[in-house]
Amino acid sequence: MRIYKDKYIERSFTTGGEWMTRNEKGQYTEYIGPIISYSGEPFGGEKMSPKLEKEMKLYEFEASKDSILYDEIKPKYSRNFIEPIPYKHKLTDEEKEKGEYSRYFCEILNLNSIVEVNKEQHKYFKKDSTPYHKNIEIVEIKLKTSVKSISYNKQQIEKAAEKIKEIKNFVMPTDYMNWPRNVRGIQKDRLSNRFYPEGERVPDVLPKAYQEGNDIVQTNPIVPIRQNCAGCIFYEDRWCTKFGAEVKENYWCAKYIYDIEEDTYYRPDIDLPE
């Protein structure tokens, strides 16, 4: 059993902005609390122990947040490591024909930065061949273009969010979808003006995907169950704040913000697909 001699121990306290801890994945977290230094090496805690020495080593805050601090990293790793290069996915003719496509994302853990990358970069980061790779979390999301696959796409995105939480800011379950000319609950005249079955005009500002939604029973097969205007973040007393128009509570569009109870941080200011 290791013995820690008092003459080598110094104690202090930090209120923040000075030190960070690092977990097994290489992720850094700001440390606030008591500090015990042994032979000049700082650790987060009050009493020295082998467990504390192993798990609560402290790193200087400024150095940690702007760079990767791996003790085992050598210059050769830095020279050989390729940083993520941003990429914007575009649907290819082959993907259009198959009705399926994949998108790849990585999160730079110490910077809390999410970047979309191409397939080749995804393969590179998946190799985990240098210590720098441990600072990159990667996901592949397999999606479909059919409007009947919204629920499937939603599940794929939720699965990816288990690894990269804020991935929902970067991909939607309705991306690349083309809506049928005739959707449920909407009628058109010769000039393509839209009307409700009762004869009331549908505001022109509402998107093409605007149609009857679903409650606990799925009556519209191309809209996910339990999704309608009444349950959307943009709905306020028969008014859509997203489009600035009156809507019906039992209708729906692709701008519907899903899982709002679970993802209260997510209210996008980007343009979402129609």
Rounded Cα distance between 252 and 85, Å, is: 37
Question: Confidence band (pLDDT; 50, 70, 90) for 269?
Answer: very low
Share of the chain above pLDDT 90, in %: 33
**CA 188 from chain center: how many Å?**
38
Q: Would you call 213 helix, strand, or coil by DSSP?
A: coil
Q: What is the pLDDT of residue 63?
A: 40
For the cut 80, the answer to whether the pLDDT of residue 74 exceeds it is: no
Closest CA to 155 of 224, 205, 100, 204: 224
Rounded Cα distance between 176 and 20, Å, is: 42
Longest dimension (CA), the chain: 91
For the cut 80, the answer to whether the pLDDT of residue 265 exceeds it is: no
For the cut 90, the answer to whether the pLDDT of residue 151 exceeds it is: no
Mean pLDDT of the chain: 81
The dihedral sign for the CA sequence 241, 243, 245, 250: negative
Tell me the C-alpha to C-alpha distance, in Å, between residue 199 and each of 1, 53, 184, 202: 84, 74, 14, 9
Closest CA to 237 of 18, 10, 181, 229: 229
The residues, any chain, with a CB within 8 Å of residue 138's CB and separated by 6 or more, are: 104, 105, 106, 107, 122, 125, 126, 163
How long is the chain? 274
- Burial environment of residue 117 by CB neighbours within 10 A (0 to 12, 13 to 18, 19 or more): buried
- The reply to whether the predicted model has a pTM over 0.75 is no
Domain range summary for the chain, segments of one domain joined by +: 7-67, 93-169, 179-274
How is the beta sheet containing 113-117 ordered, strand by strand? 113-117, 100-108, 136-144
The residues, any chain, with a CB within 8 Å of residue 96's CB and separated by 6 or more, are: 145
For the cut 90, the answer to whether the pLDDT of residue 198 exceeds it is: yes
For the cut 70, the answer to whether the pLDDT of residue 62 exceeds it is: no
Question: Confidence band (pLDDT; 50, 70, 90) for 161?
Answer: very high
Q: What is the pLDDT of residue 98?
A: 93
Would you list the DSSP string of 148-193?
GGHHHHHHHHHHHHTTSGGGGGT--TTTT----SS-TT-EE-TT--
Q: What is the pLDDT of residue 68?
A: 42
How many CA atoms are closer than 13 Å to the CA of 143, on its beta-carbon side? 24
Long-range pairs of 158-163 with CB within 8 A, sequence gap ≥ 24: 158/259, 160/105, 163/107, 163/137, 163/138, 163/139
Q: What is the pLDDT of residue 25?
A: 76
Q: What is the pLDDT of residue 274?
A: 43
Mean pLDDT, rounded, for 159-188: 87
